Structure 1
Amino acid sequence: MSDETPYARLSPDLVLDAVTACGLWPDGRLLALNSYENRVWQIGLEEAAPVIAKFYRPGRWSDAAILEEHSFANELADAELPVVAPKLFAGRTLLHHDGFRYALSPRHGGRAPSLESADQLEWLGRLIARMHAVGARSSFVHRGRLDRDTLIRQPMQAVLTGSLLPATLAERYRHAVERLDRLVAARFDAVGPVRSLRLHGDCHPGNVLWTDAGPHFVDLDDARMGPAVQDLWMLAHDERAMEALLEGYASMRDFDHAELALIPALRAMRQVHYAGWIAARWHDQAFPAAFPFAAEARWWEQHIADLHEQANEFEE
């Protein structure tokens, strides 16, 4: 399997064969779900509810790191948290078929949460607090931390060594990222030590599905060690929303309000990482199709301007 075409052989027939290898009986219905980092399919089964098949991107995580994700998801589910956890087959959650690693999980549908609703935000705050209470029990060993090396320096190198950034913008880009990196480091130093715990890691509205029974969380693929506020800030579009989240959170678990000062740093790190992620994955044919703007010089000019704007906000 080529690193340049990681999913070239992942045909519908291979997906169905992988599900059949688990002793399940697909009925031939496949629905590709919106996922770029991995490949995710909804598979219809004969006389049973559909399952979700997640095929992991080759080379991104080690087997040990994926198993930590699965273990965390099952630990959360055992604590009666509404988290979609992988199914067990012959005592294993990480499965292998024809060179691919994959996992199967139950299908849980839902709609996007209403982030204008204080009641829903408080509900989410309570659930995230309970998730963090479980996350604080132990540490990840293989999944790394939410830090500047992972979210700034490595993405910067991916952009500078990739083919997307016009050569005429390289120094301007490097200067913008290095400037922002220094300010992010200063902000973390100013806040001081904060408690690091196992996080969802990518707790944005797309990874929360709401039903009449309430919300549930999906996709722990970015689970890492980091500060609690990481799982809150992407759900809060303004101060009132954050207040509602924290009201719910504080009813279940103490929150260190000093972490709120990290939000601009976390937002900046995510912005740098986003561009680096696209650059690092550009050889995957799904990325040029989904992010065509990244091939245009004007997008990189705007990205550089946005990084300086973030830096200006820090300095102000």
Structure 2
Amino acid sequence: MSPVPSSVRCHVVTGKGGTGKTTVAAALALALAADGRQVLLVETEGRQGIAQLFDTPPLPYEERRVAVARGGGVVKALAIDVEEALLEYLEMFYNLRRAGRALRRVGAVDFATTIAPGLRDVLLTGKVKEAVTRRHDGRPVYDAVVVDAPPTGRITRFLNVTGEMAGLTRSGPIKTQSDGVMAVLKSPQTAVHLVTLLEDMPVQETADAIAELTAAGLPVGSVVVNMATEPALPEPALARAAQDGLTGADLAPALAAAGLQDVAGLADALAAEATDHARRWAAQDELRDEVEALDRPTVELPLLPGPMDLGALFELAGRLEEHLRTEVAA
């Protein structure tokens, strides 16, 4: 089996908008499914981003296979529909599925989740908890569940469903449901992974989210630095270029020695590009230090050329498998 910490079965992936959290969630699902594992990838925001990544039709409110991982593992995906989740809830606790459908026809379901947004999160996280704890013949149906969760600015409120529902109900099935969800989300079988870029705002939001999650007693997992660029020059040369800059005169002799003609304009353009790259790299290195200071396991995923297709997802999944292996060894 692939080297995945057996105690962590619910992997919640969040990140500032634009950091690629859905891509990372999909790649993580492929990594966790390696060597014959069964993994469920859950979408909570209704954007159908998972279907686009795996080039499949829009996902219905049912679990469908979207990929076969290395070694024959299977990734299934589910896009949670809040109305369908509420109908399930009404049937499970009140035997009122038929009445729930009538409520939906008159718009009451949408009204209820609008005036009580905490209820929406209870329904979403409740479905995640059900998938994590579901068993067949005495063993879990899924080896892991990966959740493409809301962005960092909303992640603590989304996961802390007991606190969100406290003002609405202090007893009854909704309270029981939210308490059961929190028992899973605050347990060692859950880890919240944060996706960031090496840019000021995503790194700051990641630090803020880690502080909020920790204060709420929610377990923080790894930090994933996404779309990291590789240095185009050796690092000592980059450091010198970042500090002192380059001019066309610095590069012109080498270009002339290479047999190029009329090198002045080309040398100036290359020097400007090299200096800009070096200074961006230096700024990223400073942000790497900030990420390291967060004191969480960290993995970098490269910026890949071309569109994000299934082949690219498998490449990112390979990097994440290596990270998981390192975490097990540690």
TM-score if structure 1 supplies the norm length? 0.26
TM-score if structure 2 supplies the norm length? 0.25
Give 1 or 2: higher helix fraction: 2
Q: Which has the higher contact order (CA 8 A, sep 6+)?
A: 2
